[in-house]
Amino acid sequence: MTIYENVGQRITVERKKLGLSRERLAELVGVSAYYIGQIERGSRKMSFDTLVRISDCFHVPIDYLVHGEQPDCSDNELQSLLKRCSSQELALITDMLKAALPHLRLMGRDTRE
């Protein structure tokens, strides 16, 4: 398998983890969905600029996309997702949790008692 195919596989995995279609990722990155498909298959080389935009979109290090090395694989899924967030995204998530928790507890979904 070539490095381009490996990078493409990691991009596919990250895109699916976030529930993004190729079309949506293409919109976010500023390229065509066809181009994203070519990148994911490893049949097309991308510019460094495109790699940076994809990395930023996924909130993962470029090193992970290129080499497959996760910064810390011991984190659970929630911690891993939170590490990908910007400070503005974390503030929004915190506000959403603060608003949602009382309602979840009223619905009997609080398992910490």
Task: Evaluate whether residue 111 is within a structural domain.
Answer: no
Tokens of 74: 């011991």
Residue matched to tokens 């009382």: 102
Cα radius of gyration (the chain): 17
User: In angstroms, rounded to a whole number, what is the distance separating the alpha carbons of residues 69 and 49?
Assistant: 20
Q: Tell me: do 23 and 47 sit in the same domain.
A: yes
Tokens of 4: 């381009």
Q: Among the residues of the chain, which ranges form H helices?
A: 3-17, 22-29, 33-41, 48-58, 62-67, 77-83, 87-106
State residue 41's pLDDT score: 97
pTM: 0.65
Q: Tell me: do 52 and 83 sit in the same domain.
A: no
pLDDT tens digit sequence for 19-66: 999 999 999 999 999 999 999 999 999 999 999 999 989 888 898 999
Q: Tell me: do 48 and 22 sit in the same domain.
A: yes
Burial of 6 (0-12, 13-18, 19+ CB in 10 A): middle
State residue 99's pLDDT score: 83
Q: Tell me: do 51 and 12 sit in the same domain.
A: yes
Task: Measure the N-to-C terminal CA separation of the chain; round to a whole number of Å.
Answer: 50
Residue 77's identity, in one-letter code, is E
| Domain count of the fold of the chain | 2
SS3 call for 2: coil
Q: Tell me: do 53 and 87 sit in the same domain.
A: no
